[in-house]
Structures are given as structure tokens and as C-alpha cells.
A and B are shown apart, each in its own frame.
Chain A
């Protein structure tokens, strides 16, 4: 899923401070799972903002909505009738949702309430970690199912670098060395000899390097 983290309250206040009528829109997908922008977080943020404005002696109307998804026309249409009655929309969706909202309601101020962090998984309640950078050309088959592009600080394809110490990365003793994990896994799979195969220069054109990406499936288009 896409993992996000709510922006600092002061930053949010700074974005929406001029609005007299504000709509906070949550998303029921990834940001709900990572507890950054679901219905619960919309409610908590709305209360905090109401208190803040009340303390400032300002009367600001703050409404709450949470859509099934903000990356889908269908669900964004649900606020078509009310969107332009607000001075601003604060979206707690990931960067995709915020942009899709802004494209749809292009005369409206749409602000991001979260920082979109990475594609990751829930390690445990309250802990999410990165697993994928969407490079567009998956190499997990040769790295024992562990991704060096997203999990190595240098995204080294023939690792580890000389900074791997006791299974940890040189940048931080809390971070696992992806290449230690890869080596361990290759051994467990009885494929240790694969370690010596050199991974050739990667075609990064399917990554960010190739510009904005697009997937078109003629077979499923309506």
C-alpha cells in the first residue's frame, strides 16, 4: 500500500488559515490502513482545527467526508454538488488522491494533509516499512524476493557495499542491510551460487528517470 504520514499540525494550519469554510476529505484505502488519512484521522484533525480556530476567536465551518477512494473519478464525483461551496478542501489522501481531487475541482484550493512516504507494508501496529519504489522493472526473482532498489540506501544491484556491518546498513544501525537479507535468503533457498551472477546495468527508463509513467491496457478499456 501507499504509506503516508500526517503533516505537522502547524503546517496544516498555515495552509488553511484563510478559509472560513473548509472540507476535510479522507480516503478509505491505504491512508486508512496506515492511520494517516482515514475517517478516524479526518475526525481528529477536524476537532483539532475547530479548537484552534475557536481559540483564535474565529468562526470557521469545518466539514468532514471520507470517500471510498480519491484516486477514482467515480468516488470523487460524490462531492461534486458541495465542493465549490467551500473555500478550501484539505485532502488526507496520498499525493495521487490530492492531485486527482485538484484536477477534478480545478477552481478550488486543494491542500495536502499528509506527506506521502512510500510503498510499504505494516510491520506491526504503528510501524510501516518500505518495500517497493515502483521502478517498473521488477528484479525480485534474482534477489531472493528482497528488493535492493527500495531497501538498500544506495539501491546497489550487486551488493553489499563495504558499509554493511552485523547485518545493518551504514546509514543507520536500525536499518537492515538489504544485501545481508538477500544473501541469507539465497542461502536458505540453496541458491547461494547465484550471488556471483552479476546483475547488469539496469534500464531505469521504466523508473522515475523515464518521465511520468502510464499503463494502458487496450483489452480492458471500455
Chain B
């Protein structure tokens, strides 16, 4: 792929041909920014960039942008997650500029979970834009240096633009065309849904490869360590678009309760090790939900440590 277009550390790592490692940090349900600092400190030496979720599962939290600014001020690389559920095109552009003002230069464009899952189920959703159109919007602001309204932006945002992909959602036949569509819209990196069904993921990325898509976009494979057999079952049955094969649930269930967390970490490491060898996989996105302290170990035991240095 081409040389970096933005100051994004994630882009530089990927462009240099390293397997990138990102992780995420969910902001607190309160205003104590020290909680963000604490989570970021747990993982900072083991990841290249830290995604900050945007009111994930539609539960109201400290805003992603504020947490990203904190992480940036710690000298780390935040990935601003932005959903189109809660903001119209005025607010989205405004928040992108807000991020750019603090030299936050990596973002992930998402549609977001429906508000009925969260703590404001009776609220409105916005969806002025969808994730595809948000990608187009950021690229337009960056590449043309213009607002959607046509006016020039003084100091346009230098965003490295990412999108999500779920290789497991339905309908399956559009999973690769949908990836192609996101790339056409302007996505430069992809972070995937958590992978438990490795065969299906490999099938998806093979088809992406055959279409030449892995030459056009960096794909970071998403992994989430399972904490318990209960979590495996919950993910399988209750989380939309999640594919947890029976054998994974069974493996967790067959493990004595006190050793299940350990088994979950083991599965996660095995997944990364297998996917490291898959052509088209450009890195890993480790989503250790409220289990950030496990990230260093996963990174180390997967052979992804130390992290490379870039300018």
C-alpha cells in the first residue's frame, strides 16, 4: 500500500508493514477521567493505538472525544470511535474538528447499536448519516479540505479513516461486497467484529483477497477473550451479529469454572497465532471488555511484543 497520508501512528505502523495491535478502552459512567488514564496505562506499552468507544451498547458514558483528548495528552495514540446514532452532520463535522484540534488523527466510523439496547431506550436516534456516509464525510473534509456545505476548512482534519466489518453478520453473500463498498467510500483500515469462528473469517478474508481488497485496506482482526462459559453463551445467543461456534462454547463449558478465564485467554492467543499467518491480516484489535489488564499478556504470548517504534 502507499506511504502514510496522515500523522496517524497506526497508519505509520501499518504502512511500514508491521502487524498492528490496537485495543480499546470504554469510558466510565461518570466524569472521573482518571479511570480512562488508568485503563490506558494498563495497555499503553503493548498496543499501537487505543480505541475509545462511543456510548457503546447505547449506554450513556463520558464522551469518546474527551477520553481521546486525555489519551492524546498522555502521549498515546487514540482512535476516536464515532457513531452516527447520536449526532447529525453538523455535530459530526464539529466533533471531527474538535478531535483534529487536539491532533487526534485516527477515527473509526460506525453506525452504533440501536438505542433500545441502552439506558435511554425512549430516546430518538439521529442517523442523519450512516457509517458509509460518515466515512465519505471525513474523507471529504480531509482530502478536499471542505465542509459538507462546501466552505473551506481552515486546517482540515488529518484523519486516518477506519470502519468496522462484521464477517459473520447476515446476509453472508454481501459481507465482501460490503467491505468493498466501505473501501470505495474511503475506509483505509478495518477493525472486525470479534472472531471466534476462524474458518468463516478465513473464508471471508480469502474472498476479500481474491477481489484485491486486502491490497486496498488494512484489516485488523478483532478478538475478545472470553471470561467464562456464561459469557460465551451470552455472546453466542444474545449479541447481534456474533458467531461463537458450538465447539468454543463447549470448550469453555468443559473447563472447570475457576479455570475458564485462563481458557478464554488461551483461546484468544491461539486465535491470534493462527490468524497471524493468514494473508491479508494486517494486525489485531484486542477488545478485552472490562479486562484491560489481560491485554499485555495476550500481546506478549501471541508474539506481538515488543511493539515497533515509528517516527
Residues of A that sit less than 8 Å from B by CB: 153-167, 170-171, 177, 180, 183-184, 195-196, 198-201, 204
Contacts and interface: CB of A to CB of B under 8 A. Distances in A.
B243 to A, nearest CB: 9
B180 A154 contact: no
B164 A162 contact: yes
Given A164-B171, A195-B174, A201-B89, A171 B116 contact: yes
Contacts of A184: 171
Task: Please indicate which of the listed interface residues A154, A162, A200 has the most CB atoms of chain B within 10 Å of its own CB.
Answer: A162
B114 interface: yes
A195 B171 CA distance: 12
B137 A201 contact: yes
Contacts of B174: 160, 183, 195
A37 to B, nearest CB: 26
B39 interface: no
8 contacts: A162-B169, A163-B114, A163-B240, A164-B169, A167-B170, A184-B171, A198-B136, A201-B136
Nearest to B164: A162
Contacts, number: 95
A154 B174 CA distance: 19
Contacts of A158: 130-133, 181, 185
Nearest to B167: A162
Given A156-B130, A158-B130, A170 B113 contact: yes
Nearest to A184: B171
B177 interface: yes
Interface in B180-232: 180-181, 184-185, 193
A154 B181 contact: no
Contact of B125 (A154, A166, A167): A154
B83 to A, nearest CB: 10
Nearest to A204: B128
A154 B114 contact: yes
Contact of B241 (A164, A180, A183): A164
A48 B139 CA distance: 61
Interface in B101-152: 111-114, 116-117, 125, 127-133, 136-137, 148
Contacts of B177: 195-196
Given A198-B181, A201-B136, A159 B130 contact: yes
B162 to A, nearest CB: 14
Interface of B: 85, 89, 111-114, 116-117, 125, 127-133, 136-137, 148, 164, 166, 169-171, 173-174, 177-178, 180-181, 184-185, 193, 240-241
A165 B240 contact: yes
B241 A163 contact: yes
5 closest Cβ pairs, A-B complex:
A170-B240, A158-B132, A163-B240, A162-B166, A156-B130
A177 B85 CA distance: 18
Nearest to B165: A162
Nearest to A154: B127
Contacts of A200: 133, 136
A210 B181 CA distance: 30
B129 A201 contact: yes
A156 to B, nearest CB: 4
Contacts of A159: 130
A166 B114 contact: no
Nearest to B137: A201
Given A156-B127, A199-B132, 18 more contacts: A153-B114, A156-B111, A156-B130, A156-B131, A157-B132, A158-B131, A160-B170, A170-B113, A170-B114, A171-B116, A183-B171, A198-B133, A198-B181, A198-B185, A201-B129, A201-B133, A201-B136, A201-B137
Contacts of A183: 171, 173-174
B133 A162 contact: no
A165 B169 contact: yes
